[in-house]
Amino acid sequence: MHCGSCGSTNPRAGQRFCGDCGAPLPTTCTDCGTTADRTGQRYCSECGYRLSADNGRSTDGTEQAAVQVEADTLPEVRAGAVTGAELRRVSVLFVDLVGFTSWSHGQDPEDVRDLLSGYFDVARRIVARYGGVVEKFIGDAVMVVWGAPVAREDDAERAVRAALDLVAAVSDYGRTNDVADLAARAGVVTGQVAAWASIGEGLVSGDRVNTAARVQSVADPGTVLVDPVTRLASQAAISYQAAGEHTVKGKPDPLTLWRAQRVVSGVAGTLRVDGLEASLVGRTRELSLVKDLFHATEEGGRVGLVVVDGIAGIGKSRLGWEFEKYVDGLATGVWWHAGRCLSYGDGVAFWALADLVRQRFDIAHGEVPSSAASKLAEGLERWVPDPAERDFVLSRLGVLVGLTDVDLPQAELFAGWRLFIERMATTGPVVWRIEDLHWADTGLLDFIEHLLEWSADLPIFVLAFARPELADRRATWMVSRRQVTVLHLDPLPTQAIESLVDDLVPRMPAVARARIAERAQGVPLFAVETIRSLIDRDLVLPRDGRYVLVGDVGDLEVPPTLASLLASRLDGLPTPERDLVKALAVLGDTFPRAAVAAVSPASRADIDARLQALVRKEILTVRRNPMSPDRGQYAFTQTMLRSVAYETLTKRERRARHLAVAELLRATFSDDGQEVAEVVAAHYHAALLAGPAADDADSIRDIAAVFFDRAGRRARGVGAPVAAQAAFLTAAGITTDEAAAARFTAEGARMAEAAGRFSEADELYCRATGAHEAAGRHRDAAELAGPHGRCLARLGRLEEAVTMLRRAQDVLADHDPDAASVHVQLVLARALRSLGRIEEATPHNDAALVAIEDLDIPEMRCRVLALKGHLLAEAGNVAAARSAFEVAIRVARKHGLTYDEALVRANIGDLLFQADLPGAAEQVERATRLAASIGDLNGHSWGLYNLAIVWFFTGDWDGAETAAEQTITVCVEANLRAAAHLPLLLLHVARGRTDESSEALEGLTELASSGGIEDRCAVATGRAADALVRGDWAGAVQVAAPMVHECLANLGQFDESTRLLWPLALEAAWQLARETGRGDELAAVLDLADVDPADPPPYLQAQLLRFRTLFESLSHDGDTSTETVADVQTRLRAAIDAFTRIGFPYVRAMTQLDLAELLLTHRGEDQPADVALLLSDAGAVFDRLGARPAAERLDRLRAQHAGTS
């Protein structure tokens, strides 16, 4: 530094006085590097930073406190005059609109104001996402500050991120509002300013503020320029390009500026990829849509699934990468999770979901179980504070990550997993990014649907990337699911690919660039891989932070397909590296360093050197995601690259290496590789396929079968029946043990049934049973009759089930009672009951009840008791039925059988229906809540169906309609889905919706082919109700009367089928009698009471009283004596009182109309007042329910009443 007094040079940095004359030297600003204009200057003229005598630093560069304060400032400080003001290091963003002034000329002032207001709203929203403070709006410019009043370590980075987003958003805003030329330019400057503690205009001031405005003024439209300090503070996360020097107003020296290009990593450089990465080209709108959908989920507090689908290489993963970097930079906290569906093992069950849990609790794959269990238990205390909920979640998460081996229904596992995610979502938005969803097992897809259904009101954002094949498995996601958005990525236009190539290798000759773009056919990966092949051949080299073409590529021929392109890349590698790539292909898309030794004989040093070379050449990449417990995993840069490499292996090489990997996995993971049984099984299977005739092929078959069995049991344990079915059937197909093959096939059948694939299950049960019979294992065959009979019943093949079960019963009778024989008795009793053969069913259920007392099987005991309650109720013994149900509930509660408790409570509701409808509704509602609490979709669906029926009669018609529609939407059982159209049909009929009732009837008639009497009765009920609404009384009677006879003869008066259909038959017969003047049909339907001699339950009793009275009033039409009329009134009022007492408001109102009509026909002195009261009461019910046909009848009676008053 030159001395201003003597002119000598002082070489040492930080020197305070001249070494030759002792004069004070000017100070250099430590913030921006500017030399003070004069000695003793207190603030930097460039950035406003305070300059103390030693600039706040000792001569060795260490921080020291300023020890001297000028005396004249002390009184102000002591008086508090400057309290709240301080110097702070901040980042200032200026954004200005381009094209706004020219557009606004001649525009309506209100249009100008609206455009500006919308722009300001966009600016505020984006700034808020990155934690900035809007200092002021100046015309069409915005000034934003980061670092005041509160500073963060990444303020400069947040400012640049916000600037890039805001510039992009303004372009979209202009297009949306038909202002195509509207653009924004931005400048970001970082340095020290004077700041005040309060938020508002005047928050900061100083030279840095003015400089930011000047930097913005020289930026091109659509770009962001920053000063060197901002670049240095944010370059770990932002890619920059030198923008040269610029002379600006008010600055004596040119400013060196940098152009911000794009975000290349998470906050502070995390998740950064150091290597070849192009700008995001042609996907800006898609990325904006994903961001908007995420913020809609975040701000609206509603679950959302976004499926990004497209062919391999189209840019799905890049879109997810850009979104991840975006979320990582937001000011608000987001619980981010990333998972991948593995292709090995035909989709390892719930792998991506297990990744979510492992990331959240920092549990590594293969971690010692005790350590993993400790992390899980301790970590859950944060997310699930309630001890009971925590215990529920802990056991189910333990199953998911392989820490516990508890056999729980899929619904209960789903409930526990969902509850954990929900508890996270109550503290902040949850994001779950899933790669390769097309490889997912069916269980994971089911769980995602489960999450959408049950967690609808929480901010959970699932972002899934898949190939188009996913549409074949979940077509409803692609077209009709409310919470699902499907974003399809089409190939990019040629211009976009050329722009991408130019971004990767600037100034590439136009001919070569055009050829690459043409061959890429709109797929970005093709272009990127072509450039990588040029890098491999040293024709493109890195220089000064960018790639440069250094060789002649005039003869370059780009292969027409990616496979051949990738093969040519592999052929261009040195032989040792190429051999290693081939070996690594056996390990899958990702693999840890430790696994490489299993497939390569090279030394550790050679392997490490080759891995480094492959990473450098971008054949491999290293994933250093800080969220993942497995740090340092290698991955192929492209899945297809691995596939091409794998296909170059000989069968002998594949076999040897797959066997080596399987042995390594068994040795690495605890319990002989139990946690990754699917992957071990897949490697053994691949080895077998590569050498089916090898000498040890049979032994490999058997060990592969053992691991597929383990994989099936693990998938079953985590509630993935489809994956379990596939594993068991693979085991059955490869084992050399015929008996084991039959056992595996039976397990596959059980899993098919659990997945609702009843026809598949039937075929598999038949195959397993046939194998046992052919080998003389008759008892083993008989033991399968229970589950097989249950499956046949669900298919409606009841007679076939009964025949098979009776045969099995004979075989099992030679042995002491056990679980299999009790199950056969139970299923046989159920099938007979469904056929209406109650007297035959009862002895079988009683035999099961006796046998179960000596067996410790609480679940089966509960179900036998529940069926006993049904049979007793249908026999008219209500008290004994209630007692059986209550014992079943005690058993269920004692042993934690929530599923069975829900089922029995639904049965109690059915029992109470005709005597205490409000009490029945309470039981059904409780049963539905219990099913929901354990995620039992089938039980919950049945609960919704029952609620729809109950609420129809209690008078909650809107609730009934919603419940029925939900049943149709979520139900997996085809028969129930069809049956749920019945309550909808009854509602449409009662509301006079003829078109809707016809649609509901069409859905209901899917049950017509069933052999079950209840299904056939449901169809008859629907047809009779539809005929009623159309005024076809005779048709309704013709459909209903024979079926009522069958129901009464086989099911009794307590069954739902009877209580729904018989009153409809009576109503139709009564209307027909009124129309024709004959009561023959009504008398015949009334006489059906003789079919079942038991006393009718209260509801049917009241209905019979009502219609018998109406029938007698018809036959006494000519008798108007006071005694006769009074007797009819008394009996109808008794029916009205009964409906009131047991809780049937709509039926009561209809009976009030019957009485009012009778009183108007037989007028008496006191009757007008009675009629008015009856019509008023009934009218209130009809108005509330929207019962249009009943209301029209009421209006006619009101008119008649008015004419006679």
pLDDT tens digits, one per residue of 877-917: 888 999 999 999 999 999 999 989 999 999 999 889 989 99
Q: Which pair of tokens denotes residue 277?
A: 């990465």
Please check the confidence at residue 472 and state whether its pLDDT lies above 70. yes
pLDDT of residue 418: 93
pLDDT of residue 1192: 94
Instruction: Give backbone dihedrals phi and psi of 906, rounded to 5 degrees, phi first.
Output: -65, -40
Q: For residues 1086 and 1074, what is the distance between their CA atoms, to the nearest angstrom?
A: 15
pLDDT of residue 790: 92
pLDDT of residue 86: 61
pLDDT of residue 949: 95
**Residue 594 near residue 628 (C-beta atoms within 8 A):** no
More confident residue, 72 or 579: 579
pLDDT-derived band at 390 (thresholds 50, 70, 90) equals very high
Model confidence pLDDT, tens digit, residues 1160-1195: 887 655 566 788 999 999 999 999 999 999 999 999
Mean pLDDT confidence for 28-39? 57
**Residue 1099 near residue 1059 (C-beta atoms within 8 A):** yes
| Dihedral of alpha carbons 1030, 1034, 1039, 1045, sign | positive
Mean pLDDT confidence for 14-30? 63
Sheet holding 484-488, edge to edge: 335-340, 430-435, 460-466, 304-309, 484-488
Q: For residues 1021 and 1019, what is the distance between their CA atoms, to the nearest angstrom?
A: 5
Q: For residues 307 and 437, what is the distance between their CA atoms, to the nearest angstrom?
A: 9
Residue type, 403: L
Please check the confidence at residue 713 and state whether its pLDDT lies above 50. yes
pLDDT-derived band at 4 (thresholds 50, 70, 90) equals low
pLDDT of residue 1061: 94
Please check the confidence at residue 840 and state whether its pLDDT lies above 80. yes
pLDDT of residue 67: 26
pLDDT of residue 77: 27
**Residue 923 near residue 908 (C-beta atoms within 8 A):** yes
**The model's pTM:** 0.68
Model confidence pLDDT, tens digit, residues 551-610: 765 554 433 335 545 666 677 788 899 889 988 998 888 887 878 887 888 898 999 999
Q: For residues 1183 and 1173, what is the distance between their CA atoms, to the nearest angstrom?
A: 15
Q: Which pair of tokens denotes residue 457?
A: 């009101």
pLDDT-above-70 percentage for the chain = 86
pLDDT of residue 46: 53
Pairing of strands 183-196, 204-205: antiparallel
pLDDT of residue 1096: 86
pLDDT-derived band at 922 (thresholds 50, 70, 90) equals very high
Instruction: Evaluate the omega torsion of the peptide bond into residue 491 and state whether it is cis, within 30 degrees of 0.
Output: no
Q: CB neighbours of 644 closer than 8 A, spacing ≥ 6? A: 563, 566, 567, 570
Mean pLDDT confidence for 1041-1059? 88
Please check the confidence at residue 923 and state whether its pLDDT lies above 90. yes
Q: For residues 323 and 463, what is the distance between their CA atoms, to the nearest angstrom?
A: 10
SS (H, E, C) 36-88: CCCCCCCECCCCCCECCCCCCECCCCCECCCCCCCHHHHHHHHHCCCCCEEEE
pLDDT of residue 356: 93
pLDDT of residue 1: 59
More confident residue, 685 or 972: 685
CA quadruple 389, 394, 400, 406: dihedral, nearest 10: -100
Q: Which helix (H) or strand (E) holds 234?
A: helix 228-234
Please check the confidence at residue 230 and state whether its pLDDT lies above 60. yes
Model confidence pLDDT, tens digit, residues 1111-1130: 888 766 555 566 677 888 89
pLDDT of residue 330: 84
Please check the confidence at residue 167 and state whether its pLDDT lies above 90. yes
Count CA atoms closer than 13 A to 504's CA, side-chain side: 27
Of 96-100, 720-724, 742-746, which one has max mean pLDDT?
742-746
Please check the confidence at residue 525 and state whether its pLDDT lies above 50. yes
Q: For residues 413 and 397, what is the distance between their CA atoms, to the nearest angstrom?
A: 8
Please check the confidence at residue 47 and state whether its pLDDT lies above 50. no
Q: For residues 507 and 514, what is the distance between their CA atoms, to the nearest angstrom?
A: 12
Q: Point out which residues pair with 549 in neighbouring strands.
A: 540
pLDDT-derived band at 736 (thresholds 50, 70, 90) equals very high
Please check the confidence at residue 10 and state whether its pLDDT lies above 80. no
With b meaning 16 or more CB within 10 Å and e meaning fewer, what string describes 511-525?
A: ebbebbbebbebbbb
Please check the confidence at residue 81 and state whether its pLDDT lies above 60. no
pLDDT-derived band at 289 (thresholds 50, 70, 90) equals very high
Please check the confidence at residue 173 and state whether its pLDDT lies above 80. yes
pLDDT-above-90 percentage for the chain = 42
Domains and CATH numbers, the chain: 1-83 (no CATH), 87-263 (3.30.70.1230), 284-488 (3.40.50), 575-647 (1.10.10.10), 1116-1205 (no CATH)
Q: Which pair of tokens denotes residue 394?
A: 């802990």
Lowest mean pLDDT among 27-36, 291-300, 530-539, 940-949: 27-36
Please, what is the average pLDDT of the chain? Answer: 84
With b meaning 16 or more CB within 10 Å and e meaning fewer, what string describes 90-106?
A: bbbbbbbbbbbeebbee
Please check the confidence at residue 79 and state whether its pLDDT lies above 50. no
pLDDT of residue 28: 63
Of 3-7, 325-329, 867-871, which one has max mean pLDDT?
867-871
Lowest mean pLDDT among 327-341, 423-437, 513-527: 513-527
pLDDT of residue 70: 30
pLDDT of residue 311: 75
Mean pLDDT confidence for 249-262? 89
pLDDT of residue 629: 54
Mean pLDDT confidence for 126-130? 87
Mean pLDDT confidence for 765-772? 97
pLDDT of residue 271: 58
pLDDT of residue 427: 93
**Residue 1144 near residue 1099 (C-beta atoms within 8 A):** yes
Model confidence pLDDT, tens digit, residues 685-708: 999 998 999 889 999 999 999 999
Please check the confidence at residue 309 and state whether its pLDDT lies above 70. yes
Mean pLDDT confidence for 284-303? 91
Please check the confidence at residue 63 and state whether its pLDDT lies above 60. no
Q: CB neighbours of 368 closer than 8 A, spacing ≥ 6? A: 670
